[in-house]
Every structure is written in structure tokens, then in C-alpha cells.
Structure 1
């Protein structure tokens, strides 16, 4: 049997630099600067390992021997002491890694891939409003499907899309926790979905104005105000309201408006900018909007920032309309299909949709700008057919 307890408390203090054996794998490593470290050497599964047991002081010879014997017992039981210590650390850590902390950390890690770095809060808000108020203080390692079911049950049948997003975000948070080394159940979200059952909620399409009614509504937008001009350009271009509301002078070059890739929604490559051909009518609206511009943003709000989507929606609501601004994209798409007989690829590109598979897109290098310009000029002519000109600006 290997000799043990070779060192004494006095020797620990007086020995010079070097590696000094106490026996049975316990060593004292003394440095030139006077510092010292206890190290346990052992072999498990044919692999030699070294495990730090702390510095001396404060770890005494007696404490080092006790720790060494504890870890030798783990080796005899077939457990690697280093992995066992890491496991114990993870177990202890579960009490301080709360779901709210993991969710925030996961959000921070993903900001770069979110539109506008997630400033609008749409990625985080389903968690913030429907999960974290009830489960935020639960250690993520203790989270189970019944907790999640109880948190989302109140909105499962009434706000189905929000609940779906909350479950998806929660699944991402759990994967993030697992990547941090925490012991979590990665199937919690799917198990909760099974417990919640099929949602009774039926999705409703955003109300869209029939394309035949668009000219009359366009004619009513004659005040020259920021809201009226924004709605007119929204109709003329067929873009989503987000890029339009944040339209900046620097994005306009001649008769082309270039929307930065990160502002485009959907499956488009976030690095790929999107060119919008501007009809003669659209250019006139932009020129009228320039007199309202602030910091080169063409559609500023009255207070600060840019006009909100709610401002345009409320304008339509006050006019007694059930339609919403986003619905004008459907109006344009129906007109292209029924009236203009626009080729599918061109029509879908007008709306900024991805057309074809990845291989097809790799070989197709055009964005149909010239064809889309013809379509948008024809659409503007239709929209403008009953417009008699703006009134004095508000």
C-alpha cells in the first residue's frame, strides 16, 4: 500500500518550491512566490486526472486529506470526482438560475438576429406578459409541463397565436439553459402543448379593403397631413407599415426606395436589401411628405419618433371602416391577380415574398424591378382614377 500522511503541518509551511507528496495521490504544489495548491491525482477509466482541492492557506493539511479521501471513495465507486463536482455545482446553480434570468439572457443572445435588435419587444413580450409573471421566479431546472400549462391555459383558446409564440420562446430559453450546463427538461414546451390540447381559436385574416373600393378611399385622403400621406404611400407601394413609417431620406435614390434587409419581415435574407420602384404618383406623395420631415424621417409623429401603426389604423377606424392598413397589401395582390393578370413571380416579389426554393433563387438573379415598375404605375393609375388633388395641408 502506498505510504500516506507523509507531510506535517509544519512541513506545509516550511517546504520550498516544488511538488511534495503526502501519499495516495495527494500532492502539495508550492510556487516560487510562496503560494501553494493542493492537488489530487487519480486514475479512472484508464485516464489520469488531476483535481485541485484549494489553496493553502486557507485549506489546511487536515482538510485536504479529508477531501482527498472523499474523492478517492468516488473513484472506487466508479465516479469521476471532477465530473461529480461539476454535477454538484450544476445542482446548486439551479437555485439561482431562475427562468426570468435565463429568458433575459436568451433574449440578449438573440438580439443580433432580431429585427432592430428586438427593440420593439415583440420577441420577448409573449414571455414577459404571459409566462414570467407566474413562472419567472421558478428555477429553470424545476420547471415542468404542468407549470407551463397552468400559465398559458387562460390564453390558449383566446389568444392562440400569442400562446404559440410564448411556447416557442420558452423552448428556446430551455435550450439556452441546457447550453449553459443546467439540467433542464427540453421537452417541457411540447409536453405542455399536449396537456393544453388543440386550440379552439380560429385565426382571422386582417380585414382588407376590396381593390374596387381603394380609389374612393384614396381620394378621401386629401388633407396633406402626415397620416394621410403615409396611408397614400402605403397603398401605392404595397409595403408593410413598419418600413414605410421608418422611411428615411437616405433610402431614396431617384425613383427607387431601398428598404434595408433587416427591416424586411419573413423569409428574406436579413442581409438582402429590397428595392421598391416608385411610381410617379408615389414620388409626388414623397415630395409632399418632405415638408413634414424631421431628422430626414418622412413620417414623424407629433411628439417624437415616427408615426405609429396604431395612428393609421385608428384613422381608418374613426372613418367607420373595418379594414386595416396592412390589408392594402391584399387589395393590391387581388388587383394584380384579377385585373392586371400579373405573373405570379412578379406579383409575389412586389409584396417582398420569397419565390421558389433555395436552388431556384440561387440561379435567378433578378428582382423584376422593371416589370414591377410597370405594375406599380398601372396600380397608381387605378388608385388615382378618382383623386382630384390634395386640400391645403393640415
Structure 2
């Protein structure tokens, strides 16, 4: 008899650090990358073709939720339906723009935030710096688009840009979990944007000169005229 796969536990999911794929059963796997990123995969074979479907990060999907998604996907496979193609079909039918995804994400997360003011602040940088990608379908957002939003302010407003990147990453993760996009997150930092932008702790933000005390202004202008 084939050896039964010993399932994962929530504690084991958190403790695993070595890269590789770890089976839970029924086609569900935990994938750990060399950079420490942990995501769920559903592996299956259909019509002689082996495929694997990404289910999202462990930060967004618990072990129990991943098992439920994998179980539903396995039922589709048993009925001759490719769950990847089906998810893509549904995504195309119900495609939303990045701007719409932002609104839905904020609505979902608002109850967990401290107050309405924080929700407005959270959206402020998105509205300011992501106008160029707001109308674009969420499944079409790629790395160059993300960089186009954050790179112009990375040196001058490094902390703001870093937070903006994290917000975009969260929105795209939400979109993937809800079937609006697939594939890797183009806003992820480790092993991706870290290769295109300097780490924020290595950047010296550009700052303007301090203003001159008003009492010194009358003394400054005569000196300035003498320098011409």
C-alpha cells in the first residue's frame, strides 16, 4: 500500500525554514522558497498533463482555508475541469481595475483598522501615486507598472515609497486570493524589486536646506549682492 502522507500542522507551517515543497495531502503543498517566502500550491494531473495552481501566501490563507480551496479544486479535477482554466475564465468574466481592487480591499480591511481616519490615510498615497495604474485591469499589473509608481519617489520620499510598495503588494495578494489575478506578485520585495531598488535603509533621503531665521534676512541680502 502507498504510504499515507502525514499532514501539516499550523505550527509546522510556521516553523519550516528549509526551501522545498511540503505535502499536506489531496494535492496540497506548502512551498518554501530560498528567500523564505511561503505559499500554497495545489498539484494535479488532468488529461495526462501535470499542473500546479498557486493558492496564495500563508500570510493571507490559513492551512484550513488552503485545504478547503484544494478540496474544491480536486472535485473540479475529478469532474474533468481544469481549476486553473476555470479560475482564469471567472477572472476574465469578473475582471476589475486596480482602482476597484483598492476600494474593495479597503472595505474588507476597514473593520480591522483603528478608525476611519486611518483608512483615509491608507488610501491617500495610493490615490496620489497610483493614478497611472488605477484604470488598468488588476490582472494586467506588472513589475514595470509598479516601479513606475514608486521609483520616482524612492530617493526623495523613501519611507512613503516603501509603504506604498507594501500597500500595492497587499492589494495584489488580495486580488489573487479572490481569483482576479494569478502568478507571482510583481510588487514583492525579496528576490524581485530588491534587485531594482536600493534597500530603504541604504538610501539617504533628499532634503532641502533649512530656512533662514527671518532676523538674519536683512543681513543676508547685502552679502548676496556683493557675491554677484
TM-score (norm 2): 0.48
Relative contact order higher in (CA < 8 Å, ≥ 6 apart): 2
Which one has a bigger Cα radius of gyration? 1
| TM norm structure 1 | 0.29
